[in-house]
Amino acid sequence: MSPKKMFLVSAIALAALASALPAAAQSCSISTRTNVAFGNYSVYTATPVNVNGRIRINCNAATTSVIVDLSRGNAPTFIPRYMVNGAQQLTYNLFLDAGLTTIWGDNTGGTSHYGPVDPPSGTNVNITIYGQITALQDVGAGAYTDSITATANF
């Protein structure tokens, strides 16, 4: 057993954008509440690493429908996403549901987006992001990171 492969630190930082369709009276804000931080990962553990993160949206009364998309991050596709440490890649994905069956993306490439929803006016709505790193990946030790952008379209 090589100690250099025992524990890896991995995290995904979430950025947030709000994107409005042309209607001046509409407004929404989106922010990261909790980053998806996987913590230590052991290449020898046969179970995947599951964690949650959260984003928050807050919209005014004129906003009738909101969709939230997540970007691919470092990866060219959503399936799989990956964190990087130099040239090494650690695959993971982000999901809309606790059962980890629906990949959260932008409704392309086998993914779905959050919504459309009609959030209550002026109320913070917390949205959970479910993350999972696939088990038994043979990668070197180090910090693996990715940056995902959450976009609210209204």
Q: What is the pTM of this model?
A: 0.86
Residue 7 has pLDDT above 50, yes or no: no
Radius of gyration of the chain (CA): 17
- pLDDT of res. 61: 78
Name the class of domain 7-153: mainly beta
Question: pLDDT digits over 70-119, tens only?
Answer: 999 999 999 999 999 999 999 999 999 999 999 999 999 999 999 999 99
Instruction: Name the phi and psi angles at 71, rounded to 5.
Output: -80, 175
pLDDT tens digits for range 22-41: 555 678 899 988 899 999 99
Q: What is the number of residues in the chain?
A: 154
